Chains A and B, each alone.
Chain A
Amino acid sequence: MALLSIEGVSKSFGSHQALKDVSLNVEAGEFVSLLGPSGCGKTTLLRLIAGFLTADRGTIRIDGEDITNVPAHRRPLNTVFQNYALFPHMSVQDNVAYGPRRSGAGRVEAAERASEALSLVGLGQMGDRYPRQLSGGQQQRVALARAIVNRPKLLLLDEPLSALDLQLRRRMQVELKQLQEKLGVAFVFVTHDQEEAMAMSDRISVLSEGRIQQVGNGAEIYRRPANRFVAEFIGEANLLSIDSAHGFEIVFAPADQSTNRLGVVRPEHVRILREGDTAALSENDVRITAEVAAVASIGGTTDIHCTSLGYEIVARRLGLSDGGFKPGDKVTLVIAGDDIHIIESERS
């Protein structure tokens, strides 16, 4: 039985339907990200689980118990808020002890548990300070300590790292993941950052326009996106209309001709050869003749933008070397047949 089970949940605000028939299961100890652009419904879903909103339709269960209409303060879960929502009039210690106090612990016991939680997040010495005296990263840790002090089985995190700078953010990603594994608590982690979701999650649930588009681990979602939205939202993708496909014999249609199937090709799967260079081809390879349009080095990789059949196709090479390709060069783009993921294209 899943720890958290969401079935057919819908939620509207006025005429805006924020969530449409969403279903999702989260197992005990699992790290699940809700990933999507702003306005996709991920925060609404989190607030429904936390109990700050009530679903129009559908059920939410925790450990099999229907909590759809249970008020927030009686739900067996805790939340880390986006801007931490620490109580500014209480010391760090009192902030963290707030949860145990409310669940009936005495003053002494609550203080002990708060100290324990604070040392777990590396803030053992900060108990007497006030939230405004702490840095953003430290406040983040206090928020985390406050949320785990009652040892919930399920922790909800609403873009908890979005206010931190990049370096701190990377470090916190690692720490958060370690803490999650150490405590064995299930995380439902809202983020709009696909790299963050990829780096941390066991499974990712991609949302768009109030619907779950795809659920799977990072590799599945990257390699086999369920639809055009996922393909474009996760990583970068060349999207090419497919004219015909028999096994690996795939023929692409020109860009202005829309067909009912799309080939998704990641830039790093596009090899680029000089015209006439057929040395390293295998029979499963699909070849496209193209012309180099632009070359751009971005740190560890170099992107070569080519045009063919009216598409702009990006080939990505590791390293700073552009391989001697210049705009205007005639080239052959080579894609291994099994690197082409085929999806049904929704016609508009």
Chain B
Amino acid sequence: MILRNLICIVALFGMTFLVLPLAVLVGASLTTSEFLAFPPQGLTLKWYAVIFSNPTYVASFLTSTWLAASATLIAILLAVPAALAVSRYDFPGKGAFSAFLLSPLVLPHLVLGAALLQFGGSIGLTRNFWALLVGHVVIVTPFVLRTVLPLLSREQQAMEEASRDLGADGVTTFFLVTLPQIRSGLVAGAIFAFITSFINVELSIFNTTAELNTIPVQLFNYVQYSVDPSIAAVSSATIVAAAVAIILIDLTVGLDFLTTNDD
């Protein structure tokens, strides 16, 4: 009983520690003062008006959303076949191949960004949306791969065999048996991938321009020269967008799989 209470207290403390900065951020975005202040001095939405009337912010927000969505989609299209190949087949260099696919997880993004810029420069792929996209696909694919791979178990393979045995060809089997089984991993991986892409500064910074900017890079540039409540408003807007996305996913496909285990 004492242990239980202790765990509750520690958990509450941890939650508070994690959530408090967000509360501070949202609070500060509502201040009427011209500088960041918490608790907010008076309540106003004027900083939101400031950012939403600023076409640069809106454009960056859209760029980031597009970028994250495209990178996630491409990551899924790359990671699922890769995961199937790694889990189902033995081929020379399989170990090296899977290590290579996961390596962006451990490589500093700054290094990756610099390398991509150099390489992109030599083939004329720099400072545009596609250059950004290539980089983001590289860093987010491992997330999808990591979450899908564990679901491609032996049992899963036996189910695919059962499907083929019952007369389904490879494509039918994939859509009717494999995909529903890896769906939870796909959703989890896609969430991680989207967020990772959406908040990335280090990689994006090499290929962004004044006209083409992502929201985190925009913020990063802005806070170097001035700190006012508009950045808190941008951050809060991002948090709200993320919360809405998570709730939508929970309502449609469900997030139970993140906390419970079927087996």
Contacts and interface: CB of A to CB of B under 8 A. Distances in A.
A83 interface: yes
A248 interface: no
Contacts of B95: none
Contact of A73 (B158, B165, B177): B165
Contacts of A139: none
Instruction: Count chain A CB atoms within 10 A of each CB in B158, B166, B177, B181 and give the residue with the most.
Output: B166
A86 to B, nearest CB: 8
Interface stretch (A34-42, A96-104, A204-212, A340-348): A96-104
Nearest to B172: A102
B162 interface: yes
Contacts of A79: 161-162, 165
Given A73-B169, A85-B155, A98 B163 contact: yes
Instruction: Count chain B CB atoms within 10 A of each CB in A52, A72, A79, A83 and give the residue with the most.
Output: A72
Nearest to B159: A85
Given A89-B180, A89-B181, A102-B172, A72 B165 contact: yes
Interface in B152-179: 155, 158-159, 161-169, 172, 176-177
Contacts of B167: 73-74, 99, 102-103, 150
B256 interface: no
For chain B, which range describes its interface: under 10, 10 to 19, 20 to 34, or 35 or more residues?
A: 10 to 19
For chain A, which range describes its interface: under 10, 10 to 19, 20 to 34, or 35 or more residues?
A: 20 to 34
Contacts of B168: 73, 98, 102
A85 B158 contact: yes
Contacts of A103: 167
B211 interface: no
A117 B43 CA distance: 68
A71 B166 CA distance: 12
Contacts of A287: none
Contacts of B169: 71, 73
Interface in A75-120: 78-79, 81-83, 85-89, 98-99, 102-103
A146 B167 CA distance: 12
Given A81-B158, A102-B172, A132-B262, A87 B177 contact: yes
Interface string B205-248: 00000000000000000000000000000000000000000000
Contacts of A99: 166-167
A50 interface: yes
Interface string A45-86: 000001110000000000000000001111000110111011
B144 to A, nearest CB: 20
A100 to B, nearest CB: 9
Contacts, number: 61
B165 A78 contact: yes
B207 to A, nearest CB: 41
Contacts of B177: 87
Contact of B162 (A85, A89, A150): A85
Binding site secondary structure of chain B: helix
Contacts of A86: 159, 162
A72 B161 contact: yes
A149 B155 CA distance: 22
B162 A72 contact: no
B262 A72 contact: no
A226 B166 CA distance: 38
Contacts of A52: 161, 164
Nearest to B162: A85
B158 A83 contact: yes
Contact of A87 (B162, B165, B172, B262): B162
B179 to A, nearest CB: 10
A86 B177 CA distance: 10
Contacts of B176: 98
A102 B176 CA distance: 11
Contacts of B172: 102
A49 to B, nearest CB: 11
Nearest to B161: A52
A147 B169 CA distance: 17
Contacts of B159: 85-87
A101 to B, nearest CB: 9
B13 to A, nearest CB: 37
A52 B155 CA distance: 15
A78 B165 CA distance: 6
Nearest to B160: A85
Contacts of B180: 89
Given A73-B169, A102-B172, A85 B161 contact: yes
A78 B166 contact: yes
Interface of B: 155, 158-159, 161-169, 172, 176-177, 180-181, 262
14 contacts: A52-B164, A71-B169, A74-B167, A78-B165, A79-B161, A79-B165, A85-B159, A86-B162, A88-B181, A89-B181, A98-B166, A98-B176, A99-B166, A102-B168
Interface of A: 50-52, 71-74, 78-79, 81-83, 85-89, 98-99, 102-103, 132, 146-147, 150
Given A73-B164, A78-B166, 16 more contacts: A51-B164, A51-B165, A52-B164, A73-B165, A73-B166, A73-B167, A73-B168, A74-B167, A79-B165, A83-B158, A85-B162, A86-B159, A87-B159, A87-B163, A89-B180, A103-B167
